[in-house]
Amino acid sequence: MKSLKTIFRYIKNYPRLVAAYFSFNILSVIFSVVSLGLLAPFLMLIFKTGDIFKTVGLKADNPLDSFKMYISNMVEQPGGGVRALILICTIIFVAIILKNFFAYLSMYYLNPIRNRILNDMRTAMYNKILRLPIGFFSDQRKGDIMSRFANDLNDVEASTISVLESLFREPIMIIGFFTYLLILSPQLTLFLVLFLPVAGFILGRVGRSLKKKNQQVLQQFSNLFSTIEETLGGIRVIKAFNAERKVQAGFDVQTDKIFHLKNKANRRRDLASPMSETLGVTAVLCILFYGGRLILANDASIGLKAEDFITYIAFFSQLIQPLKNLSTASFNIQKGAASIERIETLIQTPVEIQDTPNAKVLQSFEHSIELKNVSFNYDDVAILKNINLVVTKGKTVALVGSSGAGKSTLADLVPRFIDITSGEVLIDGVNIKDYTLQSIRSQMGIVTQEAILFNDSIANNIALGVENAAPEAILQAAKIANAHQFIERKEEGYHTNVGERGMKLSGGERQRLTIARAVLKNPPILILDEATSSLDTESERLVQDAINNLMSNRTSLVIAHRLSTIRHANEIIVLQKGEIVERGTHDSLISQNGFYKRLVDMQEVK
């Protein structure tokens, strides 16, 4: 099964744990066989059939018969019966103690294997999310990705990982018991060999249908997670438009679908246990009938004695549970296969933007960023067309244009958040694909329109991009970003937690913290994406002053929404439908009386 191949790919990373688990499992099964195997000598002793070895001239062809002969000879001696009984009981007691001791040790080593597999899968998914390009997340719903971390991983733990014990232990028990059954009666064991594949085929048909049902359940859970995530993000709008009832109705439809799908999946899963038990009882009845006929035939050549037959039944009764566990494990594996496929789909997603084999480190930014004949298509739709642009070191270049003109897309090309379709992006005359991603981005600071903060302290949010930042450096960065005063007014100062997405702070405060983050990083290149467009007038002034401090003596690429903020840019690039339609300084563009002039006039009218 494909899902098992995935699990074993993780298991092979821990050979010592696996070896210890198997070793203790084998020892546990051996002592289990010994404890049950002594049932026959015990019955022989109780019913005083030991003289059969002499009357029919049987030989000790195996350890069991050897022990029987030893007991038979012991019984002939004065008081030998009691000594033989003590010996058998003592061996059974020690065997059971050792069986359970080694069973515990096997589980002791299995638990780390199970937990390490889950940790490895969780880490692999998170690592892939960090490595995937930004474009990947525009195609994916956050709820679906969250569902893979939560619901899918829990499903793998509850189904596939939880059956590792059965997959590893039960085959060893089955082999051990089957070997002993074969010693007791080859004829009866041959019947089992013929019967079990039929039972496995029947159970397998039901198991395959379970996987399909569970895939539908998981997809519906992904939709539910997305709905919850959207509801939490848009709760203000939902309440403002009195849309609670409408949103609740949509949620109820989704939960109703999950209810029916899970009922169908669970009913098929629950069918495994009664089916396997029914097939097991059928096998027992057939063995009772066939074995009973062999005993009643009283044929010495067959070599099956009454005490051996009772022992055979006892062993087979113990064999039913491992077989039942394996059939249940097969169902659970089918159930978890859908989750593993979804997790593996994420883990195996190719990372389209990554370092080339011989990528070199961009040590420092020296003279310019250049876009030569750059075009970018998204799903065969042209977003940027034949862009030519040079940003000289120390200069500020502003990108303006209507919504959807391609401004943010152009800015995303420089740090390689996305890769161009054609043309070249050069830093200091070298194609950025020849540099490592880490070294390119280490030269850049980015302040976005939406202030992205994390549920952590103010200090840690400012120091996000700097390892082991000194408190003095954090404080100085906050002062440059006009953030120090409002931080000092907080009860815990720089140790204040900003809340989920910084919601404990105002919009202007959040934006000044992101600017302080860029100041602390001290990059030579700045990319500012409409950093003041969503702020009120007072906050905009404070943030704009912070941005001016940040831009001092740096190379800046500014996406401007409020054109008044980029009047002093060295060059203004006007984009329309993915093309540069105008370029120049503010004054030269105003004198052209073109598209830029109309944009300025519209904002002044407002």
Domains of the chain: 2-347 (1.20.1560.10), 356-442+570-606 (3.40.50.300)
How far is residue 337's CA from residue 159's CA, in Å, rounded to a whole number?
Answer: 9
Given strand 381-392, what is the order of strands in its sheet?
A: 381-392, 368-378, 422-427, 430-431
Question: In the structure, what pLDDT confidence band is assigned to residue 571 with cuts at 50, 70 and 90?
Answer: very high
For 49, which DSSP code? -
Cα–Cα distances in angstroms (integers) from residue 335 to residues 110, 211, 598, in the given order: 21, 5, 61
Query: Residues 6 or more apart from 420 whose CB is under 8 A from it?
Result: 374, 375, 376, 384, 413
Among 186-190, 346-350, 366-370, the range of highest mean pLDDT:
366-370
Across 102-111, 140-149, 320-329, least confident range: 320-329
CA dihedral sign of residues 500, 506, 507, 509:
negative
CA dihedral sign of residues 8, 10, 11, 12:
positive
Q: What is the pLDDT of residue 55?
A: 40
How far is residue 268's CA from residue 151's CA, in Å, rounded to a whole number?
Answer: 20
Question: In the structure, what pLDDT confidence band is assigned to residue 496 with cuts at 50, 70 and 90?
Answer: very high
Q: What is the pLDDT of residue 46?
A: 64
Q: List the structure tokens of 107.
A: 């589980």
Q: What is the pLDDT of residue 331?
A: 66
Query: Are 465 and 516 spatial neighbours (Cβ–Cβ below 8 Å)?
Result: no
Query: Are 108 and 191 spatial neighbours (Cβ–Cβ below 8 Å)?
Result: no
Question: In the structure, what pLDDT confidence band is assigned to residue 105 with cuts at 50, 70 and 90?
Answer: very high
A 10 A CB-CB count for 561 gives 17
Average pLDDT on 249-278 reads 77
Cα–Cα distances in angstroms (integers) from residue 7 to residues 26, 153, 435, in the given order: 22, 12, 36
* pLDDT tens digits, one per residue of 126-182: 888 888 887 777 777 777 788 788 778 887 877 766 677 777 777 887 888 788 778
Query: Are 390 and 368 spatial neighbours (Cβ–Cβ below 8 Å)?
Result: yes
How far is residue 321's CA from residue 69's CA, in Å, rounded to a whole number?
Answer: 32
Question: In the structure, what pLDDT confidence band is assigned to residue 303 with cuts at 50, 70 and 90?
Answer: low
Question: In the structure, what pLDDT confidence band is assigned to residue 390 with cuts at 50, 70 and 90?
Answer: very high
3-class secondary structure, 306: helix
Query: Are 394 and 526 spatial neighbours (Cβ–Cβ below 8 Å)?
Result: no
With CA atoms as reference, report the closest residue to 262 among 335, 334, 324: 335
141 burial via Cβ count (<10 Å: 0-12, 13-18, 19+): middle
What is the residue-averaged pLDDT of the chain?
80
Q: List the structure tokens of 16.
A: 């010592």
Average pLDDT on 110-124 reads 87
pTM, to two decimals: 0.71
Average pLDDT on 324-332 reads 70
| First CA to last CA distance, the chain | 65
For 561, which DSSP code? S
- Cross-strand pairs, 444: 525
Between 492 and 552, the higher pLDDT residue: 492
DSSP per-residue letters across 494-553? GG-B--GGGTTS-HHHHHHHHHHHHHHH--SEEEEESTTTTS-HHHHHHHHHHHHHHHTT
Q: List the structure tokens of 579.
A: 């093309």
Across 10-19, 29-38, 359-368, 474-483, least confident range: 29-38
Q: What is the pLDDT of residue 540?
A: 67
3-class secondary structure, 425: strand
Q: List the structure tokens of 233.
A: 């993000």
Bridge pairing between strands 525-529 and 368-378? unpaired
Q: What is the pLDDT of residue 45?
A: 66
Across 85-94, 230-239, 300-309, 521-530, least confident range: 300-309
Average pLDDT on 427-437 reads 92
Q: List the structure tokens of 534.
A: 């969503």
Q: What is the pLDDT of residue 372?
A: 94
Secondary element (H or E) of residue 589: helix 586-592
Question: In the structure, what pLDDT confidence band is assigned to residue 368 with cuts at 50, 70 and 90?
Answer: very high
Q: What is the pLDDT of residue 54?
A: 46
Q: What is the pLDDT of residue 53?
A: 43
How far is residue 560's CA from residue 402's CA, in Å, rounded to a whole number?
Answer: 10
Looking at the chain, the whole-number percentage of residues with pLDDT higher than 90 is: 15
Average pLDDT on 372-394 reads 90
How far is residue 223's CA from residue 221's CA, in Å, rounded to a whole number?
Answer: 5
How far is residue 247's CA from residue 264's CA, in Å, rounded to a whole number?
Answer: 27
Average pLDDT on 70-78 reads 72
Q: What is the pLDDT of residue 88?
A: 80
Query: Are 524 and 369 spatial neighbours (Cβ–Cβ below 8 Å)?
Result: no
Between 6 and 462, the higher pLDDT residue: 462
Angle between helices 471-480 and 507-521 (to 10 degrees): 120
A 10 A CB-CB count for 320 gives 16
Bridge pairing between strands 555-559 and 396-401? parallel
Cα–Cα distances in angstroms (integers) from residue 380 to residues 123, 138, 247, in the given order: 34, 16, 35
Between 539 and 103, the higher pLDDT residue: 103
How far is residue 174's CA from residue 161's CA, in Å, rounded to a whole number?
Answer: 21
Annotate 514-540 with b (16+ C-beta within 10 A) or e (fewer). bbbbbbbbebbbbbbbbbbeebeeebb
Query: Residues 6 or more apart from 535 whose CB is under 8 A from it?
Result: 507, 508, 511, 543
DSSP per-residue letters across 400-416? EESTTSSHHHHHHHTTT
Among 3-12, 221-230, 283-292, 379-388, the range of highest mean pLDDT:
379-388
Average pLDDT on 182-199 reads 71
Residue ranges of E strands in 330-428: 368-378, 381-392, 396-401, 422-427
Length of the chain: 606
